[in-house]
């Protein structure tokens, strides 16, 4: 790559990760350089007026807009690769021999994910074109006041409970978790192309509410369904596709694993396989936007801080920590906030940041208002941000130990977690 081409994205990335005072950490760029802004750009390009409130976030800034303010010529595919961080796109040249799609380097530009940098939050933001502050999905684990439990949102069940969707009874509705309807429910005609096994789960019903669900089982099945959708007589204006293999392999082997290149290369092969089944005109008129929900940092058991092994801290907690391993949300028992903060200060290494949650909300870390009515209650009192690669862990009483250590982690505000690429072009070019 020519140096001039590398300097532009490099400068952009440096600007996006500049620490914000007084917290000393970068913030997501909700104003036009973040994940949910992609959806806003797609809505404008498709020419749809959404129903209902509130207003969505603004579209991508002009220099990142794949459509340059114009209407899309044909279908738009937004492909979110779980775990695809900006660092991965930046290491393409080193991995060319392993099959990583090197030509994406010339197209990749950095944007930010949302906070916390975790899948449940990012996918809800993408499907609503809203920040977490508005839709209220604020963690992998989250306190749900209506149910009175800390829930694992992907499983829609209390943390530690067996089974999935135990909270999603006959009267369950997406609005009980997300405070903002999906853009599909609000009028964007779309297909959700994702894993077949996710069909019917409460989380899928929430983020893809109003979209037509199409499930795939394997990479070749993914390519087949994509080609069928794009090549149909009346293709959908928008397709929101999701694949999770890269995130899985990073958790198992770490983000610097040789497997990263294999998985990202496979994503490219899926697109190429779909393209081969289509008329060249369809490929030229189809806009592709590839992005990620977060990157990962390397982690090991040695870098974990097991909060449950510190009784002086646990004694002041009203409920188990929420958020994620790289961004812990803590709620104090009534009248014990100062004692909790003091206990954390004594036990945690000084490199861990402890931030008052009200200040983080008001500063815009989770996004601008109008705030979800339960936002403060869901988030709690304190935000703990460990430095990379440290993690905050908490094992519930009686819970079995994890059978396999996670060697990749995300959720925090390290540049490796926060920055994700946007790679855009036509299907004929990607």
SS percent in the chain: helix, strand, coil, step 5: 35, 20, 45
Could you read off the pLDDT tens digit of each residue along the chain, which spans 430 residues?
233 344 578 889 999 999 998 899 999 999 999 999 999 999 999 999 999 999 999 999 999 999 999 999 999 999 999 999 997 544 444 434 334 466 677 788 999 999 999 999 999 999 999 999 999 999 999 999 999 999 999 999 999 998 999 999 999 999 999 999 999 999 999 999 999 999 999 999 999 999 999 999 999 999 999 999 999 999 999 999 999 999 999 999 998 767 888 898 899 999 999 999 999 999 999 999 999 999 999 999 999 999 999 999 999 999 999 999 999 999 999 999 999 999 999 999 999 999 999 999 999 999 999 999 999 999 999 999 999 999 999 999 888 777 788 999 999 999 999 999 999 999 999 8
Write out the E strands in 279-388.
287-292, 297-298, 304-306, 322-324, 327-330, 353-356, 382-385
Q: Specify the pairing of strand 391-393 against strand 157-158.
A: unpaired
Q: Whole-angstrom Cα distance, residue 38 to residue 34?
A: 7
Q: Whole-angstrom Cα distance, residue 237 to residue 43?
A: 10
Helix H, strand E, coil C: the string for 359-382 is HHHHHCCCCCCCCCCCHHHHHCCE
DSSP 111: E
Q: Whole-angstrom Cα distance, residue 307 to residue 348?
A: 9
pTM of the entire predicted model: 0.95
DSSP 329: E
Sign, CA dihedral 252-255-257-259, equals positive
Q: What is the pLDDT, as a whole number, of residue 257?
A: 66
- How many other CB atoms sit within 10 Å of the CB of residue 93? 12
Residue 240 CA, chain-centre distance (Å), reads 14
Closest among 361, 306, 363, 286 to 77, alpha carbons compared: 286
User: For tokens 């909300």, what's the residue?
Assistant: 361
Same structural domain for residues 351 and 266?
no
Same structural domain for residues 346 and 214?
no
Same structural domain for residues 12 and 154?
yes
Same structural domain for residues 201 and 240?
yes
User: For tokens 């695809």, what's the residue?
Assistant: 84
| Residues constituting the chain | 430
Same structural domain for residues 340 and 285?
no
Q: What is the pLDDT, as a whole number, of residue 8?
A: 74
Same structural domain for residues 374 and 277?
no
Q: Whole-angstrom Cα distance, residue 281 to residue 303?
A: 52
- CB contact at 8 A, 198 and 215: yes
Same structural domain for residues 305 and 223?
no
List CB contacts of 418: < 8 A, sequence separation 6 or more: 16, 17, 26, 28, 112, 113, 115, 117, 294, 295, 412
Largest CA distance in the chain: 67
User: For tokens 């944007």, what's the residue?
Assistant: 111
- How many other CB atoms sit within 10 Å of the CB of residue 94? 11
Q: Domain residues for 226? A: 3-298+414-426
**What is the helix (H) or strand (E) element at residue 264, kind and residue range?**
helix 259-276
Same structural domain for residues 70 and 111?
yes
Same structural domain for residues 233 and 352?
no
Q: What is the CATH number of the domain that holds 320?
A: 3.30.1360.180
| Gyration radius (Cα) of the chain, Å | 21
Domain total of the chain: 2
Q: What is the CATH number of the domain that holds 173?
A: 3.40.720.10
Same structural domain for residues 253 and 388?
no
Q: What is the pLDDT, as a whole number, of residue 107?
A: 83
Q: What is the pLDDT, as a whole number, of residue 401?
A: 77
The DSSP string of 146-179 is TTTEEEETTTTEETT-SSS-TT--TT--GGGT-S
Q: What is the pLDDT, as a whole number, of residue 260?
A: 82
Same structural domain for residues 89 and 75?
yes
Same structural domain for residues 333 and 282?
no
- CB contact at 8 A, 355 and 382: yes
Q: List the structure tokens of 267.
A: 């994503």
- How many other CB atoms sit within 10 Å of the CB of residue 8? 12
């Amino acid at each position: 790559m020519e140096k001039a081409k590398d300097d532009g994205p490099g400068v952009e990335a440096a600007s996006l990760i500049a620490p914000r005072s007084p917290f000393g950490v970068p913030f997501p760029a909700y104003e036009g350089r973040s994940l949910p802004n992609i959806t806003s750009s797609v809505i404008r390009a498709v020419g749809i007026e959404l129903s209902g409130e509130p207003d969505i976030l603004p579209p991508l800034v002009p220099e990142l807009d794949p459509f340059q303010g114009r209407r899309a010529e044909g279908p738009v595919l937004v492909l979110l690769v779980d775990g695809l961080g900006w660092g991965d796109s930046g290491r393409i040249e080193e991995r060319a021999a392993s099959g990583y799609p090197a030509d994406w380097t010339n197209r990749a530009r950095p944007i930010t994910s949302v906070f916390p940098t975790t899948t449940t939050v990012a996918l809800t933001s993408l499907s609503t074109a809203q920040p977490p502050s508005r839709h209220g999905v604020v963690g992998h684990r989250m306190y749900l006041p209506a149910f009175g439990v800390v829930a694992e949102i992907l499983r829609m069940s209390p943390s530690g409970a067996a089974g999935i969707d135990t909270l999603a009874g006959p009267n369950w509705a997406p609005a009980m978790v997300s405070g903002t309807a999906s853009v599909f429910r609000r009028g964007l005609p779309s297909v959700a192309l994702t894993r077949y096994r996710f069909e019917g789960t409460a989380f899928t019903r929430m983020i893809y509410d109003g979209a037509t669900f199409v499930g795939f089982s394997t990479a070749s099945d993914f390519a087949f369904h994509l080609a069928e959708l794009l090549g149909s007589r009346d293709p959908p204006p928008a397709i929101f596709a999701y694949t999770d293999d890269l995130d899985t392999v990073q958790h198992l082997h770490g983000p610097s694993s040789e497997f990263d290149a294999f998985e990202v290369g496979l994503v490219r092969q899926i697109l190429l396989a779909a393209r081969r089944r289509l008329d060249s005109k369809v490929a030229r008129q189809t806009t592709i936007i590839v992005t990620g929900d977060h990157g990962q940092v390397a982690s090991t058991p040695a870098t974990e801080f097991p909060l449950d092994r510190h009784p002086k801290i646990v004694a002041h907690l009203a409920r188990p920590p929420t958020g994620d391993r790289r961004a812990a949300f803590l709620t104090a028992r009534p009248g014990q906030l100062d004692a909790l903060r003091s206990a954390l200060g004594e036990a945690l290494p000084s490199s861990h940041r402890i931030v008052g949650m009200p200040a983080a909300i008001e500063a815009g870390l989770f996004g601008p208002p109008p705030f979800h009515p339960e936002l403060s209650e869901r988030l709690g009192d304190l935000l703990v941000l460990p430095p990379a690669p440290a993690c905050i862990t908490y094992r519930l009483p009686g819970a079995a130990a994890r059978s396999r250590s996670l060697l990749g982690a995300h959720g925090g505000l390290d540049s490796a977690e926060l920055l994700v690429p946007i790679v855009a072009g036509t299907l004929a070019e990607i």
